[in-house]
Structure 1
Amino acid sequence: FRWSSSQRPLSERQDPGQVASPPETTKDVMYICPFSGAVSGTLTITDYKLYFKSLARDPPFVLDVNLGAISRLETIGVQSHGENTRGLEIVCKGLPNESWLISKINSSYEVCETYPALLVLPASISEDELRRVAAFRAKRRFPVLSWIHPESQAAIVRCGQPQVGPSDRRCREDERYLQTILDANAQSHKLCIFDARQSSVADTNKAKDGGYENESFYPNVELNFLEIPNIHVMRESLRKLKEVVYPAIDEQRWFSSIDATHWLEYTRLLLAGAVKIADRIESGKTSVVVHCSDGWDRTAQLTSLAMLMLDSHYRSLRGFQVLLEKEWLSFGHRFASRVGHGDENHANSERSPLFVQFIDCVWQMTRQFPSAFEFNDLFLITVMDHLYSCLFGTFLYNSEQERVSKEVFNKTVSLWSYINTQAEDFTNPLYMNYEHHVLYPVASLRHLELWVSYYVRWNPRTRPQVPVHQHVKELLVMRAELQRRVEELQREASSSRSLSSSSDLGGTAMHTTV
């Protein structure tokens, strides 16, 4: 179900038998029927049943369900979880550093149209300074906080490239801004900048008024180039990969053909870069600034992968959704341009599989750490399928501003609503919550392989005879049964210890009396 945001929603979570009396009625409710589509109507919940009646149909569509058949009533957000999700994360995860503050300076998207309305910024920076820094950075994408270590206060900050140009222009406000980021972390006297680009390309960008930070202007700053090729190289790599896996597979040249695409090599470069960022944060207790050219492609890949390695919250099913909403959607990855939604020009040079590459990296991590992620292979494939399907509003348009102006949050359903209503299908049966456990995947070609279940799944020779998700469901049922049995044995053991203790006390008492 979904209801209009103007209506007061029903209780956030209710168990059957605990529904308030008198009956609660909500108008402007939409029932998403898996067979006939969306139906508008009125929803009523009484002490014993759920009753939905359509408004426009003749005869009306009626759904009358006894509450005894429902395990739980729960509101599922139908928006793309933009500001609401970020607000929830702020409440849950906190901001353990007085040097940072949550700012609404971009609430009208006027400072940076590709940034979200809510931002976390250095507390000591004035609005005037911030605007000067924005003018100095590509696409006005000034440095903002993505993640902060709960203990060391080391931070991951993202931005666009500085516009130094061929004459190495300076911006005093930008220099002070980065110094403020360094000062916010008392455990380190150095700030590390990771430029995702190849150093030769970064030099070339100076001629186009771009460039990179001059270390002589930024004291205590260390600049590192991660040598990751640009979007055009990645697009060509995936094109070659498609030719290898479809429609026919050359068995004799399989490995050499895959190697010639360089897809796994570029995957390795991304993972290696993210490991360097995570290691600087965790082991070096050093804050990092990450950027590429504009700060919405390779930057999003690197920050989100590093956060996956550092923070177990993002390795949960819901936490991963928050990660995508925050690092990709709210921070303006150009999904419409990179995927080509609504664009018939398949040769458009703006297209590039950056998000596909990121999800591939996540899959590689799930292979190396099979019990560290709550979600499974099917979840990642489902996300990829609906990146292209346009059935949901989650990945539409290029920025939060565009989605707000087009009322995507009110006019479409979120992919996460669909996924979270059948979470058991997307759950990893081997999952164990390794809280505060940092993952360092091995970024070596010896440990990477082609994601066959995604890239080659339509080739009948590679399809498994039994669907993998069927085995997953069986394992989940088995795990639930084993957990139930363990709990029973624990209760029996506890009961036996209690009886034994009572018996010992009784025997001691008799001996004392005698």
Structure 2
Amino acid sequence: MLDVQVQNEMDSTDQPNSIFHVEQIYMYPLQPNDTKNMTFGLLTGETVVHSGTCIDGSILITNYRLYLQSGKNHYHIPLGLIEVVEPREPFYLHIGCKDARTYGCSFKNNEECVEWNNHIVKAVDPQRPLKQLFAFYHCVWSKQKDYDETTRRLESQKRYTFNKEMFENEMIRLQFEGDSWRISKYPPYLLVPSCINDDVLESVAKFRTSRRIPAAVWRHTRNGAVIARCSQPEVGWLGWRSAEDEELIKAISAACNFDRSQRVNSDKDSNLSHSPGSFHSDESLQITSEMNHQEKKVLIMDARSYTTAVANRARGGGCECPEYYPNCEIQFMNLANIHSIRKSFHALRQLCTSSADQPNWFSQLEGTRWLLHMSGLMKAAVTLVTAVERDERPVVVHCSDGWDRTSQIVALGELLLDPYYRTTEGFRILIEREWLAFGHKFADRCGHATCSPDINERCPVFLQWLDCVHQLLTQFPCAFEFSHIYLVKLVQHTYSSLFGTFLCNTQQERIAMVHDKTFFRLGLFEFALL
């Protein structure tokens, strides 16, 4: 056995300062007949499937990675990261990855090129049982190597996954512990106004797509405004309505208004007791109190365009009717759907393979519309922040199903509003809650095992959000506790299948099939920071 430190686990050797050196991972050395001139050891549970040579150097496939050695460069590409493999003339194999990186290698003849193409396509095929992913082999063999240490790691990682304790701690931090809000019992771990009972929530769930009811996820601790998220109402062509849903939205507004009035009264008492005879006259305090007691209209942010929302009525969906929600204002964000985002990303990846020296390269970049889509998402997040911070209004965010664009807007808005989410610990909790716990379909969107066979379900939604975080980090580097490399590693391991964090489509599936059977936090959220 070799007890070595993983350093450049996925990068070229020309990057010696990799941050992937958080822990000691046991590796098995390669057997003499596996391959020659190898400069790395295998992860625990990793086995060689195919090995050979290409014109530039060596090529190797294991049950976890594709290894390419070209001259002095060494590339370690997790199989889950590979999306496109295609032979090109003359005898050249092109490999496109889900993080927009591309690789290639040349062979002596067409037969070798086609053979290795078939090997890689078979290795990266997502249609396989979940337990055949490398994350499970890695955990099982780690138990064989050191049962006590592996058991300790599996036990310790429970506190790093979203659970009741983490949920309650976050609610205390956001000061939801007052009389206005409560945690629902069915469905569990949802914050709703105290005046709304679970029977009402059940009726609301029948009116919202995929039973995703409006639930509060963040609260402004100074003005009491909350951010809530849900899915579209099932209005249909007949214009159905739900009295319970209307009651819930109104209750969210009333709860925020009550919290605001409590704060105003507290400030008034403080001013009168500490500043007698000051410029805070009784008249000015009364005016301020009356202004803050006025109920703020709820801003319903629909991530779609108005045309798309209306078109969804043909499939039973739709949007809120202003006549039924008189205490609300509805605003459409005009964000593109997953099909447009996927097409845009593929165009961007294709452009990345071309030379940046072309005179019209930036025009082609604009033509991919990737930056335009990110700009729209950033604008939606700023709209959310403005409503909560400046206007002190509660905001309800939804798209069609509530697990793609809704997660993007809410998570990005919370990142802007709350400095805690810009720490490594807070950023992890943000992803755990808004993406994992609220059921973003990572398996379908990333093409993991058990994913839908329909490739139209794949889309780099999470990667697009991380790109927006990257833009913020570039503009305000001192506002974040982590670096760009942190985000790069996070993208890579979203697809790598080395950890179980981003497997499956729902939290329920993850708990049933992945928890205690894979590693979750080490190597993902505990990177050493540069």
Taking structure 1 as reference, are residues 77 and 403 closer, same or farther at Cα in structure 2, changes over 3 Å only?
same
| Shift, 1:298, TM fit | 0.1
| Shift, 1:76, TM fit | 4.7
Query: 8 Å contact 1:80–1:393 — kept in the other structure?
Result: no
1:325 aligns with 2:405: no
> For residues 423 and 523 of structure 2, what CA distance do their matches in structure 1 show?
17
Identify the match of residue 135 of structure 1 among 206, 222, 237. Answer: 206
Q: What secondary structure does 2:342 align onto? A: helix
Taking structure 1 as reference, are residues 345 and 86 closer, same or farther at Cα in structure 2, changes over 3 Å only?
closer
Query: 8 Å contact 1:129–1:173 — kept in the other structure?
Result: yes
1:100 aligns with 2:181: yes
Q: Which residue of 2 aligns with 1:468?
A: none
Q: What secondary structure does 1:147 align onto? A: strand
Identify the match of residue 409 of structure 1 among 491, 502, 515. Answer: 515
| Shift, 1:174, TM fit | 0.6
Query: 8 Å contact 2:428–2:525 — kept in the other structure?
Result: no
Aligned pair count reads 358
Q: What secondary structure does 2:457 align onto? A: coil
Query: 8 Å contact 1:80–1:409 — kept in the other structure?
Result: no
Identify the match of residue 310 of structure 2 among 203, 206, 213. Answer: 203
Map Cα deviations across residues 436-489 of structure 1 (whole Å, 9 max, x no partner). Answer: xxxxxxxxxxxxxxxxxxxxxxxxxxxxxxxxxxxx4xxxxxxxxxxxxxxxxx
Letter in 2 for 1:218: Y
- After TM superposition, the structure 1 stretch with the greater mean CA deviation from structure 2, 169-178 or 346-355, is 346-355
TM-score relative to the length of structure 1? 0.65
Listed as ranges, the gaps of 5+ residues in structure 1 are 1-30, 40-53, 64-72, 107-116, 427-471, 473-514
Q: Which residue of 2 aligns with 1:124?
A: 195
Q: What secondary structure does 1:395 align onto? A: coil
Q: What secondary structure does 2:439 align onto? A: coil
Q: Which residue of 2 aligns with 1:150?
A: 221
Percent identical among aligned pairs is 38
Query: 8 Å contact 2:486–2:527 — kept in the other structure?
Result: no
Letter in 2 for 1:418: G
Q: Which residue of 2 aligns with 1:167?
A: 238
Q: What secondary structure does 1:404 align onto? A: helix
Greater relative contact order (Cα 8 A, min sep 6): structure 1 or 2? 2
Letter in 1 for 2:302: D
Map Cα deviations across residues 186-240 of structure 1 (whole Å, 9 max, x no partner). Answer: 1443111000001110010011110000011111110000000111000000010
Q: Which residue of 1 aligns with 2:374?
A: 267
Query: 8 Å contact 1:80–1:394 — kept in the other structure?
Result: no
Letter in 1 for 2:425: R
| Shift, 1:121, TM fit | 1.4
| Shift, 1:400, TM fit | 0.6
Question: RMSD of the alignment, in Å?
Answer: 2.6
Query: 8 Å contact 1:235–1:352 — kept in the other structure?
Result: yes
| Shift, 1:248, TM fit | 4.8
| Shift, 1:80, TM fit | 5.7
TM superposition outliers: structure 1 runs of 4+ over 6 Å = 60-63, 343-347
Q: Which residue of 2 aligns with 1:33?
A: 25
Taking structure 1 as reference, are residues 62 and 128 closer, same or farther at Cα in structure 2, changes over 3 Å only?
closer
1:420-499 equivalences in 2 (<5 Å): 421-423=526-528, 426=529, 472=530
| Shift, 1:343, TM fit | 6.4
TM-score relative to the length of structure 2? 0.64
Q: What secondary structure does 1:193 align onto? A: strand
Taking structure 1 as reference, are residues 33 and 214 closer, same or farther at Cα in structure 2, changes over 3 Å only?
same
Taking structure 1 as reference, are residues 255 and 217 closer, same or farther at Cα in structure 2, changes over 3 Å only?
same
Map Cα deviations across residues 128-179 of structure 1 (whole Å, 9 max, x no partner). Answer: 1111100000111011111011111100000000001112111111111100
Q: What secondary structure does 1:418 align onto? A: coil
Letter in 2 for 1:86: F
Taking structure 1 as reference, are residues 253 and 347 closer, same or farther at Cα in structure 2, changes over 3 Å only?
farther
Taking structure 1 as reference, are residues 62 and 160 closer, same or farther at Cα in structure 2, changes over 3 Å only?
closer
Q: Which residue of 1 aligns with 2:484?
A: 377
> For residues 409 and 345 of structure 1, what CA distance do their matches in structure 2 show?
22
